[in-house]
Amino acid sequence: MAHSIVGNDNVPALSLVDVVRTYGPVRAVDGVSFDVAAGEFVALLGPNGAGKSTLFQLLSGLFTADSGVIRVMGHDMGRDPVPALASLGIVFQQPTLDLELTVSHNLRFHAGLHGIPRAEANTRIARELQRLGLADVANKKTATLSGGNRRRVELARALLHDPKILLMDEATVGLDPASRADLRALLLALRKERGVAVLWATHLCEEVDEADRVVLLDKGKKLRDCTPAELMASTGKPSIEAAFLALTGGNRAAA
């Protein structure tokens, strides 16, 4: 049973075994298996339509897999979803902040959903805003913030309940290059500081060069699970983008 293994330090933060999700005749996720260890930064790389968003919908509990097993900190997502979801922090591709509320009110609302007492919530909110360089905008309406700072607020919100794994679903969409690099640097630092695992979904090859591993997805199937250097070596290509294009049959990295 899942409960008997959760305390084991060897249990991956996230584990997928032969996960399948179909939509009619389309196998959007086709027998995908991989693990993410505590403190590991894994990039889920694939062209648009590869199945990344469907996979994240399964990981976040929005949909259930047709078959296979997803475990978060040893908890089976299908059989024991509450503790599994409690261990996740999620930043979705589409912004989900209430733009009419202040930054602090957005975060307090989320803390309430997780049952965090008000005093503890205020302490955690102050900590995360300070860590992410947002302390000076705590009382500003979210609508007044730049795109990069809104993403930082969403990251702060995802961290409030001290998750063991962060799911970042195309989190840099709509951001300028500097903000994209800044957000990625924050995540790389956080995984070292807190031992939090990160699964970073992207279609941009330049966002995976510092990942511990790259899981390459195309047409619902896992094509590779290796380091960025191994990805290039396995294809004999001089860059991640060239390897990506070779393995996905010419799908454009920025399509």
Residues contacting 190, CB < 8 A, separation 6+: 159, 166, 196, 198
Q: What is the pLDDT of residue 250?
A: 65
How far from 167 is each of 93, 98, 196, CA to CA, in Å?
10, 20, 11
Q: What is the pLDDT of residue 80?
A: 92
Give the separation between CA 185 and CA 181, rounded to whole angstroms: 6
Q: What is the pLDDT of residue 1?
A: 32
Residue pair 6/73 in contact (Cβ under 8 Å)? The answer is: yes
How far from 85 is each of 72, 73, 80, 190, CA to CA, in Å?
8, 10, 9, 20
Q: What is the pLDDT of residue 19?
A: 97
List strands edge to edge, sheet with 14-23.
26-36, 14-23, 67-72, 75-76
Q: Where are the domains of the chain?
A: 2-87+163-247, 97-162
Q: What is the pLDDT of residue 9?
A: 59
- Determine the length of the chain: 255
Give the separation between CA 62 and CA 219, rounded to whole angstroms: 21
What's the chain's Rg over C-alpha atoms? 18
Give the separation between CA 239 and CA 219, rounded to whole angstroms: 22
What is 2-87+163-247's CATH number? 3.40.50.300
Residues of the chain falling short of pLDDT 50 = 1-8, 251-255
Six-digit token string for 169: 């679903």
Q: What is the pLDDT of residue 249?
A: 84
